[in-house]
Amino acid sequence: MDNQIKVIAERIKEFRTFNDITEADIALKLGISEAEYREYESGCRDIPIGVIYNLATILDIEPTVIITGKYPEESVSCVFYDGAGTVINRYPGYRYMSLADGFKNKQMKPMIVTIEPNDTTELLVHGGQEFNYVLEGKIRVIIGDKEYYLRQGDGVYFDPNTPHAQYAMSEKAKFLTVINE
């Protein structure tokens, strides 16, 4: 995991310098201190997925390019078979599979998220709109000051500009999330 953090940090620095943006400008746009941004870019601190999404918007690239280093190539269709999307392990007990990495200029980001019971997930904030649909297990979704308890077949559509997080209840849970930024 530490190596993955370092590689992602190196990519971010490369994209930032290529775009001729200073660390101070990026930090300001992210709404964080310059010192905190430097910790992310140096690989000393894991970068929350919400920050990666916001960085991708600022740098005008796909979030999965930051995470995987692979650029999308398809512009008409993008198919995956037998659950073979791009799997990304972000935190212990939190993994997602991107379902449309290969499609250029996506307006939506569909992913299957698998989470283990864990109460340490940070609240995230990012642009656009988000939809979660529970495929397996039960999840607790916090959106602002509200909590929702969802089970298989339940879903929630919300504004992800509001601090939010999803937690597995007593067992592993899996849900489809579609984010439109």
Domain ranges within the chain, ordered by starting residue: 2-68, 86-180
Residue 95: which pLDDT band, with cuts at 50, 70 and 90?
A: confident
- Percent of the chain clearing pLDDT 70 (strictly above): 96
Mean pLDDT of 25-46: 92
- Spatial neighbors of 115 by CB under 8 A, at least 6 apart, are 93, 94, 95, 121, 139, 166, 167, 168, 172, 173, 174
The CATH class for the domain spanning 2-68 reads: mainly alpha
Residue 70 predicted with pLDDT over 90: no
pTM of structure: 0.75
Residue 90: which pLDDT band, with cuts at 50, 70 and 90?
A: low
* Domain covering 86-180: architecture: Sandwich (2.60)
Residue 43 predicted with pLDDT over 70: yes
Are 2-68 and 86-180 the same fold in CATH? no
Instruction: Round to whole Å and give the CA distance between 122 and 105.
Output: 28
Length reported for the chain: 181
Contact assessment for residue 151 and residue 138, using Cβ atoms and an 8 Å cutoff? yes
DSSP helix/strand/coil, 62? coil
